[in-house]
Structures are given as structure tokens and as C-alpha cells.
Structure 1
Amino acid sequence: MKKIIGLFIVLLCFCTAKAQQTEVRYLSGTGPDHTVKWDFWCSSGMNSQKWSKIDVPSCWEQQGFGGYTYGRYYIYKEREKEKQYDAYREHDFCDEYGIYRHRFDVPDTWKGKQISIVFEGVMTDAEVKINDVIAGPVHQGSFYRFSYDITDKLKFGKKNSMEVTVKKQSADKSVNAAERRADWWLFGGIYRPVYLTAKPRTQIEHIAVDARADGTLRTDVYLKNISKGQQVELSLISCDSQLPIGRQVCGLSTEKKQTLTTHWNNIKTWDPEHPNLYRLTMRLLSTTGDVVHEITERIGFRTIEFRPEDGIYLNGTRLLVKGTNRHCFDPETGRTISRELSLKDALLIKQMNMNAVRSHYPPDTHFLEACDSIGLLYLNELCGWQNSYSTEIAEKLLPEMMFRDVNHPCIFIWANGNEGGWNAAVDNRFADYDPQKRHVIHPWADFNGLDTRHYPNGTDNMYRLERGHKVFMMTEFLHGLYDRGQGAGLKGLWSKFKANPLFAGGFLWAYVDEAVRRTDTGQMDTYGPNAPDGIVGANREKEGSFYTVREVWSPIQIHPLKITSSFKGDFYVTNDYLFSNLSECRMKWKIMRLPVPQVADSPVCLAEGGVLLPAIQPGEKGTAHFDLPEKFFNGDVLELEAYNATGDTVCNWTFPIKNNRKYFAEYR
């Protein structure tokens, strides 16, 4: 009996804890590697005019429905140059739409809660019906999380029906101008996950944090149905050690939005080289001290500052951004990206010794989570390829982006559009949703104290960047298609700009080739020369520029080294890290004997060992040393390989011990 009572208490505690949290029930799968079949009907193109099944989430073209269109086709069409693109005109998507239907259960235990249906991303216009009742206004905009409160439209404990009509092109001209007239493949569909959430009626709706490097935590808390006398409890746990940092309780008023300020001791700050993270749990307490609702966010403590005519600072250190532009893209699944691919991309970008990423729209949440975890700065952008949303649309989409992404420590700047796609009417609205007041830019423009000129060339542009008084950070440069690869010219251009103390870095264009494997032909298609030419291939194959970028942007720089008969194992290194002492890294050496032509196929390692690196601070130069082995000058090549604090390769270098004349003389 005691065991039964004990089990009952445990189950009761479990149920109570579950009731306190936001419950989530997926109606779709979680990504391309985990999908759910829904009923689907497409208006035109492949497999149209008949009901069938489709994987959700997905882009319907990659499931064999509808037709393929590239964004630039409509730009060229408007310029009356469409004849050269006839091969891509087999299907005009202007009126293409799809209808999704799905049935789902809602448990009886959710009665009395607020139930919402959440869409992480739909291209492009979405009309949602629950049990034949419109859930709310048609949502317009592809890259944003949106939701509807459907509590009063549900049948608890019974089957419910859902119908979603998705139009590939928006009924709003500004949405098409901002998102669809662009240099990328246009897809349609429910391409990110769909799920239900259940929350108590009295709830923490949302929090937005300003977690600063000194341990100060200022939190904007958005509450619903709050009563006088309620409190909120904050607790903090280190994601690395899982050790609790502390617990604090704050009183509340009855306002819907309140700002709480707390201070936490012994905090480790977040930066790209030390991405320390914490789990912040907030519990809403009743007047009797019971937990009514709780939410958890992963945060990092760091201070971002923009100092005019000076630089962008993180935790008091001036940033030098080494970044790339990345799209959420997979050749097989289009814009539907798995968590595994997001992590793979983040790691590949990190392997190139980059510390930052940018794209033209909010990415999948799991990519931002990867950037938080491994240490990549992120420049998050309200979409606007070269045209802007109308103010009416921008006022709706901006809070959707901000509410979803505001707490990610990786985000260091907000961008309002791109290359003319700026709606200045919402510039000041970013700060309404961001307690950190991160800087807002117009990519390609000299705006708000930050010059972000793209593809600098010509006397005027170079003079503007080299002799101007503004901080400058190129949000795009060295175009992979037009500048003959992103490694070509990087070293010279980078050293030229880096000499200027107002230089804050830049973002290469672009990270990945965007060739799509078409389901109608089975072929990989780049739309002629248009799909961006990336540093890695569509399947993430490393190309030549990958290794060039890695070496040019290596945070450990080896000064020019020529091995002569008097070489004693000493060479100069510079610490190009921003936040790390070189003592956090290690380096190994190998003496290699190259294969003899027509005799051996593989090099032979004659000796290997460790290099003693100097304990120098960022920006300092010092002498590294290793003791030469007895057979050093019998070798042909010296190999050096550096590793960071986590054991990952930073870069490797090779230096000839013998020149080619001596090498060939030995094997005549």
C-alpha cells in the first residue's frame, strides 16, 4: 500500500509539473527526416487537380507537385528579357496554390487551457480553418512563425479537422517584391513544422532578456490574466556544468508587460570563442506560492555595443567579423532543413575560422541554436531582397521575428531589409521588442553610423571605406560567382581593410551552391549561372576556397617561414583571436619524407611532437618553438597543425625543408 501511495504521489507531482509547463503536440513532423502524411491537392503543375498525400513539413515541388520557378525569372520578365529563360517557363506559378487537410485529436485534459496552433513557416499566404471555421486573418510572409488561438474552435476528446490553403505567390504585392523577386528558387508549401500548444489561462506569454556581461539580467515579461499579489521565480542553471547558479523571486503588478531586474554572480560570459550558455526558468506563482505556469529559455550573458566612429563591441572587445551569407537550403528538400543539416552547416562555417553568419530572412530556430552553442555571431534580417514590405505587412512580421529570436545570444545586429529593401518606417520598432536595443542596419547602405557597402570596387567606393569616418562592415563581398571564387583576392582585400581601425569585418557571398534536384527531371538545376556559387557545393562538398578562407582567416597566423640550414625550431606567430589567449591552443609538428617517384605512393612520417606556443594575448606577436629531432634535415616537409581549446583543427601549414633542386638531386 505504501508503494502504491508513493507511486500515486509521484504521478500526481508529474501531472502537476506537466500542467505547469507549456505542452506541445506536433501535427506535422519535425523536419525532412521526420514527417507526417497529410491530404493534399495542388491547383496546377505536376500531380495537380487530384487529392493525394504529402509529407509535412516539405516544399511541395520537392514532393513532386506544382512547378519550378526561379525568382529572377520575374525580374527578367519585367525587363522584357524573358526569351533567354524560355527553358524555365514551363510553369507559371502566379496562380498556383495547394490545399492541405488533416485530422487530429485534442485531449480532454486540455480543457480550461489556452490552445494555439503554431506554424513555423509557410510559403507564402496561409488561410487556416479549424473544424470549418476560419482561425484568423490570412498570414502573409514566408519566413516567420505565426499562430492562432483556436481554443473556442476545438472539440476536446474528439477528432478535429484542419484545412490550410497555401498560395505560392502572395496576394500582397509588397510580400512578392520583398520575398519572391529574388535571386533564389521559389518554393511553396508548409515547409516548417506545425504544432499545438496548451498553456494555462494565467500564463507567462513571452519573455525578452537583456543578459549583460556583468551578470545583470533585465527581463521584459509579458503576462496574461495576472492577479494582484502574484510573484515570479527566476532560476538559473549552467548548460555546461548543469550546476544551479541561484534562485530569485520578484513581485509583480497587474500590468501585461513588466520589466524585472536581477543580478547573478559568478557568470561566465558568452562570446564566439567561449559560448557559455545558461538555462533561465521563470515560474509564475499564485498568491499562495503554487506554480501556475513556467517557461525556460536558453540565454547567454554578453554586452553588445555600437560605438559610432569606433566599432562594434562585444563584452568590451572590438569585433572583427569574419562571416558568410547562408541560405536555408538543401538540394533534395529545398527550404525544409533538418536540425542535423543546421548543425553541419554551423560546424563547416566554424571550420573555416569564421565567427559570423548572415541570411536574408530569419533562419530555422535550430540553426540559431547551433550558433548559440558553438559560437557564431548572427546578423538577423527582416526580409527584403531588394524591395521592402509595405508598412502594414512589416508591422505584422517584425514582432513575429523579434518574439521568436530576441533571446538568442548569437544575434548581435538586426537588419531591416537588403540592398534597397528597407522600410524605414519600422527602423525604430526593433527597439520596442528588444530590451538589448541591438543596432539596426540597412545592408548595402551607409545608415545609422555603420557603412555596410557591398562589393566595394572603384576609386569612390574604396576611398569611402578607407578614408571615411564611419565604422564599415561589408555585409556582402567577394561574390562567389562574379569574383571567381571567394578565396581569390581575399588575402589582399582583407589585409588592406584590416589596417583601418574602423573596419568591423564582412560577410562573403555565399556559403552554399543552391542547385536543386528537380523532381520533374531528376537533374540538379542552378537556373543557368544564377543560383549562388558557394564556398561549399550543394551537398556541402568542400571546394578550394574553403581551405583558402580557413588559412586567411586563421586566428593563429604564422609569419613567413623559410627553413634554412640554421633553423633551430623557432618561428613567429600572431594571435588573431578576439577573446582567447594563445595558451588555450596547442600545435603539433611532423617531419615528412615525401614518396619517391615510381617507388613509393605515400609520404612517411620520420618524427613528430608538440610545439610550445607563447602565452600571448589577442593581437600580440610571439615566438613558438619546438626541439628539432635528429633526423630533421633528412625530411622533405615540415607540417604544422594547430588545434583550439575544444580539440578542433584551426589550420595546418606545410613548409619545404629541402628546395626542389635538392629534392630531385637525391633521387636521380
Structure 2
Amino acid sequence: MIPRFILFFCSIMLFGVASAQQTEKLYLSGTGNDNTVNWDFFCTSGANSGKWTTIPVPSNWELQGFGKYNYGFNKEENKGKEEGLYKYKFKVPGKWKNQQINIVFEGSMTDTEVKINGKLAGNVHQGSFYVFRYNISNLVKLNAENLLEVKVSKHSANKSINEAERKADFWIFGGIFRPVYLEALPQTHFERIQIDAKADGNLNAQVAFTGDADKIEVELFAKDGKRFGDRFTMAVKKGTHQLTLNHQFSQPELWSSEFPNLYTATFSLVKKGKGIHQLSKKIGFRTVEVKERDGVYVNGAKIKFKGVNRHSFYPTSGRTTSKKISIADVDLMKEMNMNAVRMSHYPPDGHFLEVCDSLGLFVMDELAGWHGTYDTPTGTKLMKEMMLNDENHPSIIFWANGNEGGHNREL
């Protein structure tokens, strides 16, 4: 199947700056359980094992008739330890020449080894619920067929991964269960933008980028597409790759679970008047305060939280869900007059947080850990991956370091 090419672009043109390149995406898999792409697949043991066939991606292989079903409380000797071997051929657009090309996995259970044209893309990734990527610029061929090979081990070689993720009171699965895609960025590009937008209109952004730029420009747009407030800029000193931007906006519409007002913040890297890379983030202005022996206040109002725990789960597809399911789940919570949801017991799909942002739910995002914990080196790495992916969602007002007994205090 020919991969679908998606170019994410901002409909608002920057004034005074030549249009900058957006991050481009090329999906190799589908986007959820309602949109999949078949890859070649080989399961090493259990049901339908020992032969090459195909499997829809993303998916959990047990729900596709492979391997062995297990619950987290099963005895260790009875748990399936099968591996899944995946192959997929793809082409990279010729116009991506001189770009940085990454392959991105939004979630894979559990240890994941990635090869491009027979060469390792990087170290084996361990941890199921976290977005990870490899720079494969030097491994791919443009305008030619490339071979992606992925080996996924259901049972991790890292003991603390199994303690945190797989010895728990829920079903445990294997497979590439969230989307896989390529992304192309210019050599000068944003690496991280951390946004803190307060209820008083103060916006603070910590920005990290790679390459060479002399200015960063920021604009905000309201839901009607009109620019909100003034465009602001900050000069970049030569050799600087990290800086903090601050700007005061006047009377923004605030974000809360009842009034989830969002703005689009567009950041542009500029060199000699030319836009190089542009990145847009959905943000909300809100201030969260925890007052000792009193309670939690959002935008000055004391909040009584009424909510539920939510697993990323669907009966026919396991941990592979879809944006449609996310919308249905949030709608159901809102219909029950709830205002909050806890991610139990791991970070969710990105589309679920987007729906919480847009429809209005307070979120507690959570590092995985049932009653076992990640060791400190593993947990530190995975916590960073969680933050990189989730940190700018206005719906997230709490971060949980694991379940009731599954937290490593060194993190």
C-alpha cells in the first residue's frame, strides 16, 4: 500500500516573514483502529506463530489472533514471552533532500528494535506508552524503496519495565499499537517549546532549537483565525540555542473545563528575514494553584473535581484506539457531569489529550507504574519522553508519578 502523505500547515500566513517550512509527516501505518495499514508479520510463539503473514498496524497482535493472551496478575511462568517481527517497504519523497528525517513511534509494546535497510536506527527502545523517534536521515534512500524492519519483544529485557507496566491489574498486550510515521524538518528547526500561559495573560515560553537563526517570532491566533494581540519577536545571539520568551497579552479568554478556550501559538525561526521552520501549538491561558489545607484553584476559582480513571482500551482492539473513541469517551464523561479524568496508569494517545483540551476536562497525566516502579535511569528517560509529548496541553493540571504504590521518589 502506498503511504499517505500528510503535510501539516498553518492556514495563517505570517506577515513580514517569508513562509517557513512546517514539519511534514508521512504515515507508514494507519492512524488508529479505524484506519490501519497491513505490514508483513511473523509471531515467534503462541497462536498463528512460526509463519510470515500480515497484520494491521497499529494493533495489538493478540486481538489479531497471534501470540498469547495474558492478564497482569498471571503467574510469570505462564505469561507469553513471544516476539513480533514486522517488515514494511516505503518510499521517501525526493523533496526531502537535505532535511532531517525521523521515524516516530507513538507506542510499541514493549522492547522495540528498529532497522532501516538492514541497519539499526538506534538503541532498542524500552517502555510501551511513550513516543520515541530515531534520526534516520543517513539510512534512507530518496525516491527509492526502503525496508523497515521492527522486532518487538512483548516481555522487556528491563526488569523494571515489566514491574511498572506488565505486573498490573489489567490486560497486557504486545505489538505496535499506536501510529508510526516519518517526519521531515529543515536542518535548522525547533527541538522543544515549553509554554506556560497564565490567566493574567502572561505567556512564558522556553525554546530550544538546533541550527542557525537570528530571530524567533511568535503570533497567537484565536479560534476565528484572527490574530490575538501583537506579534512579538526575540533576537537570537550567535551560538545560542536555548532561550526564554515572555510577552503580556491583554484579557485573553481563559481555559477551564467549562470554558475550554484555545489559541494557536505559532513560533517561527527566522534567518535574514526568511522563515526557516514554523511550529504551531494549541494553548490555553489558565493558572493552577494548590493552597495548603484548602484546595485546588483554577483561574482563582476553587474546583471540586468529579472524574474517573480511564484506560486506553477498546474491546475489539485492545490498547489501539482512535480519535473517534476519544471523543465518545470525553462526551460520555461530560454527559455524566464530570470535569476531570485520570490517565490510569500510563500516558494516553495524543488525540485523547487534544479532545480534553478542546471539549474541556481537567487531566491528571501519569507515568506508568502499578505497584512496581521504573528504576531511576529508565524512569528518568521515559518521564522526559512523556513531558516532551504532553507538556503543553492546557487540560493537564496534575502529573502523577505512578499509581498508589508504583512511584519512584527519585524521579
2:96 maps to which of 100, 110, 117: 110
Tell me the residue number matched to 1:145.
Answer: 131
Amino acid at match of 1:261: N
Tell me the residue number matched to 2:153.
Answer: 167
**2:11 corresponds to 1:37:** no
Tell me the residue number matched to 1:50.
Answer: 51
Name the SS of the counterpart of 2:29 in structure 1: coil
Residues 530-582 of structure 1, C-alpha deviations (whole Å, 9 max, x = no match): xxxxxxxxxxxxxxxxxxxxxxxxxxxxxxxxxxxxxxxxxxxxxxxxxxxxx
Tell me the residue number matched to 1:278.
Answer: 263
Tell me the residue number matched to 2:359.
Answer: 374
Residues 185-220 of structure 1, C-alpha deviations (whole Å, 9 max, x = no match): 111000000000000001111211000001110001
Report the alpha carbon displacement of residue 108 of structure 1 after superposing the two structures with TM: 1.3
What are the within-5 Å matches in structure 2 for residues 255-334 of structure 1? 255-286=240-271, 288-334=272-318
Tell me the residue number matched to 1:424.
Answer: 409
Tell me the residue number matched to 2:5.
Answer: none
Tell me the residue number matched to 1:651.
Answer: none
Tell me the residue number matched to 1:198.
Answer: 184
The answer to whether the 8 Å contact 2:18/2:273 transfers is no
**2:205 corresponds to 1:222:** no
Relative to structure 1, the CA distance from residue 272 to residue 144 in structure 2 (aligned partners, 3 Å threshold; closer, same or farther) is same
Task: Quote the Cα distance in structure 2 between the aligned partners of 1:312 and 1:218.
Answer: 22
Tell me the residue number matched to 1:59.
Answer: 60
Task: Quote the Cα distance in structure 1 between the aligned partners of 2:385 and 2:63.
Answer: 27
Tell me the residue number matched to 1:342.
Answer: 326
TM-score, with length taken from structure 2: 0.93
Relative to structure 1, the CA distance from residue 257 to residue 170 in structure 2 (aligned partners, 3 Å threshold; closer, same or farther) is same
Report the alpha carbon displacement of residue 163 of structure 1 after superposing the two structures with TM: 0.5
Report the alpha carbon displacement of residue 121 of structure 1 after superposing the two structures with TM: 0.2
Name the SS of the counterpart of 1:245 in structure 2: strand
**2:159 corresponds to 1:158:** no
Report the alpha carbon displacement of residue 152 of structure 1 after superposing the two structures with TM: 0.8
**2:199 corresponds to 1:213:** yes
Report the alpha carbon displacement of residue 387 of structure 1 after superposing the two structures with TM: 1.0
Taking only aligned residues, the RMSD between alpha carbons, in angstroms, comes to 1.5
Task: Quote the Cα distance in structure 1 between the aligned partners of 2:310 and 2:330.
Answer: 10
Tell me the residue number matched to 1:127.
Answer: 113
Report the alpha carbon displacement of residue 17 of structure 1 after superposing the two structures with TM: 8.0
Tell me the residue number matched to 1:538.
Answer: none
Name the SS of the counterpart of 1:274 in structure 2: coil
Structure showing the higher strand proportion among its residues: 2
Amino acid at match of 1:408: H
The answer to whether the 8 Å contact 2:268/2:276 transfers is yes
Report the alpha carbon displacement of residue 19 of structure 1 after superposing the two structures with TM: 6.5
Task: Quote the Cα distance in structure 1 between the aligned partners of 2:157 and 2:19.
Answer: 41
Amino acid at match of 2:109: M
The answer to whether the 8 Å contact 2:306/2:340 transfers is yes
Tell me the residue number matched to 1:82.
Answer: none
Residues 24-58 of structure 1, C-alpha deviations (whole Å, 9 max, x = no match): 00000011111111000000111100000100000
Report the alpha carbon displacement of residue 18 of structure 1 after superposing the two structures with TM: 8.1
Residues 356-405 of structure 1, C-alpha deviations (whole Å, 9 max, x = no match): 00021111111111111111000001110111100111111011000100
**2:175 corresponds to 1:189:** yes
Task: Quote the Cα distance in structure 1 between the aligned partners of 2:410 and 2:190.
Answer: 30
Amino acid at match of 1:374: L
Task: Quote the Cα distance in structure 2 between the aligned partners of 1:18 and 1:182.
Answer: 49
Report the alpha carbon displacement of residue 242 of structure 1 after superposing the two structures with TM: 2.5
Task: Quote the Cα distance in structure 1 between the aligned partners of 2:50 and 2:242.
Answer: 49
Relative to structure 1, the CA distance from residue 18 to residue 185 in structure 2 (aligned partners, 3 Å threshold; closer, same or farther) is farther
Tell me the residue number matched to 1:177.
Answer: 163
Amino acid at match of 1:282: F
Relative to structure 1, the CA distance from residue 19 to residue 151 in structure 2 (aligned partners, 3 Å threshold; closer, same or farther) is farther
Tell me the residue number matched to 1:245.
Answer: 228
Amino acid at match of 1:22: T
1:399 maps to which of 384, 394, 399: 384
Task: Quote the Cα distance in structure 1 between the aligned partners of 2:20 and 2:266.
Answer: 15
Structure showing the higher helix proportion among its residues: 1
Task: Quote the Cα distance in structure 2 between the aligned partners of 1:232 and 1:394.
Answer: 33
Amino acid at match of 1:285: V
Task: Quote the Cα distance in structure 2 between the aligned partners of 1:128 and 1:19.
Answer: 31
Report the alpha carbon displacement of residue 311 of structure 1 after superposing the two structures with TM: 1.6
Task: Quote the Cα distance in structure 1 between the aligned partners of 2:309 and 2:235.
Answer: 44
Amino acid at match of 1:306: V
Task: Quote the Cα distance in structure 2 between the aligned partners of 1:224 and 1:328.
Answer: 34
The answer to whether the 8 Å contact 2:20/2:268 transfers is no
**2:397 corresponds to 1:412:** yes
The answer to whether the 8 Å contact 2:188/2:211 transfers is yes
The answer to whether the 8 Å contact 2:40/2:53 transfers is yes
Amino acid at match of 2:303: L
What are the within-5 Å matches in structure 2 for residues 476-495 of structure 1? none
Find the structure with the greater CA-based Rg. Answer: 1
Residues 114-133 of structure 1, C-alpha deviations (whole Å, 9 max, x = no match): 00000000001100001111
Residues 468-493 of structure 1, C-alpha deviations (whole Å, 9 max, x = no match): xxxxxxxxxxxxxxxxxxxxxxxxxx
Amino acid at match of 2:292: P
Name the SS of the counterpart of 1:370 in structure 2: helix
Tell me the residue number matched to 2:9.
Answer: none
Report the alpha carbon displacement of residue 72 of structure 1 after superposing the two structures with TM: 1.0
Tell me the residue number matched to 1:439.
Answer: none
Tell me the residue number matched to 1:523.
Answer: none
Amino acid at match of 1:141: G
Amino acid at match of 2:162: N
Report the alpha carbon displacement of residue 266 of structure 1 after superposing the two structures with TM: 3.0
Task: Quote the Cα distance in structure 2 between the aligned partners of 1:110 and 1:245.
Answer: 33
Report the alpha carbon displacement of residue 310 of structure 1 after superposing the two structures with TM: 2.3
Which structure has more relative contact order (CA 8 Å, sep 6+)? It is 2
The answer to whether the 8 Å contact 2:19/2:275 transfers is no
Task: Quote the Cα distance in structure 1 between the aligned partners of 2:29 and 2:219.
Answer: 33
Residues 69-127 of structure 1, C-alpha deviations (whole Å, 9 max, x = no match): 011113xx69xxxxxxxxxx5xx31x310000001101111111100000000001100
Amino acid at match of 1:169: H
Name the SS of the counterpart of 1:140 in structure 2: coil
Q: Give the % identical residues.
A: 51
Give the number of equivalent residue pairs: 393
Task: Quote the Cα distance in structure 1 between the aligned partners of 2:236 and 2:296.
Answer: 35
- Give the unaligned 5+ runs of structure 1: 1-12, 79-88, 427-668
Amino acid at match of 2:122: G
Amino acid at match of 1:121: G
Tell me the residue number matched to 2:6.
Answer: none
What are the within-5 Å matches in structure 2 for residues 513-592 of structure 1? none
